[in-house]
Homo-oligomer: A and B are copies of this chain.
Amino acid sequence: MRPGPRRSLTHAEILDVAFDLLEAKGFAAVSVRGVASGLGLTPTALYTYYPSKNALLRGMVEHLLARLDPGETGATDAAGEAGAPGSAGVAAGRTRLLALALRLRELLTGHAGALGLIMSGPLDGPNAMRLNETLLESFMAAGLELDDAARAAYALQVYVLGSIALESAEADAESEPADASDRAFATEATGATLWTDLATFPLSERTEAVAAQHNSTAQFTWGVQRLLDGLIGVR
């Protein structure tokens, strides 16, 4: 076939195929050629819809964030004044922040390799801004003044994305069987003693059990709670 049947796709259709690919074969499979062929198109046809692969990736991020649904704002009373709201507002704000963090983590870990998406550029799309606005409202409801709320909102995003980064780094490693030898070479490369086993690090050794749980929802929640402890003045 030469020119083509004039399909006129939706961006949503393209992103669906991209997410199918991400879930089925991982981040590396989300290629211009791969998505195009999943759509029944030539790679070059995709450039009609997105000017670059990076633009496609950003579209995927926004698509994910659209499903975040920050929920009812409801913090309008506290948003106006920088004073100390009632402890009920503090508790409500904190609950909402934890819920948002958990939901964000859920969305991003649901699709393996989603971190690659986030690193495609800054989080400045409309849905990312909506999230930011909700975080600001919640921190102000919890008693922070505006500037501190901004810093706190950023800190929380940092923590969530950091968690995803570390989790996905380990998840990727597990799916690659050649990893043990990779590690050996990395060790040798630094000139470190090859017999640096756990015994050299007594605390790390005694802590193996809890380290094994580092990627759990419980550890994530614990970390977010401690961060919120530090950000909000309560507890």
Name A residues whose Cβ lies closer than 8 Å to a Cβ of B: 11-12, 14-15, 49-52, 54-55, 58-59, 61-63, 66, 79, 115, 118-127, 129-130, 132-133, 136-137, 140, 146-147, 149-152, 154-155, 157-163, 165-166, 168-170, 172-173, 176, 178-179, 181-183, 185-193, 196, 198, 200-204, 206-207, 210-211, 214, 219, 222-223, 225-231
Contact = CB atoms under 8 A, between A and B. Distances in A.
Contacts of A49: 185
Contact of A192 (B66, B124, B189): B66
A183 to B, nearest CB: 7
19 contacts: A14-B189, A51-B181, A55-B183, A79-B203, A121-B183, A122-B166, A122-B173, A125-B186, A126-B192, A126-B193, A127-B190, A140-B203, A147-B210, A154-B166, A158-B163, A160-B162, A162-B162, A226-B230, A228-B230
B162 A163 contact: yes
A118 B115 CA distance: 12
A129 B211 CA distance: 12
**Which are the 3 A-B pairs with shortest beta-carbon distances?**
A162-B162, A230-B230, A229-B230
Contact of A118 (B160, B165, B179): B165
B66 A190 contact: yes
B150 A211 contact: yes
Given A51-B185, A158-B159, A183-B125, A222 B166 contact: no
Central interface residue in A121, A147, A201, by most chain B CB within 10 Å: A121
Majority-rule SS of A interface residues: helix
Central interface residue in A121, A178, A189, A204, by most chain B CB within 10 Å: A189
B155 A226 contact: yes
A214 B50 CA distance: 29
A172 B119 contact: yes
A198 B124 CA distance: 11
Contacts of A147: 207, 210
Central interface residue in A52, A186, A204, by most chain B CB within 10 Å: A186
A120 B125 CA distance: 27
A46 to B, nearest CB: 11
Contact of A11 (B163, B188, B204): B188
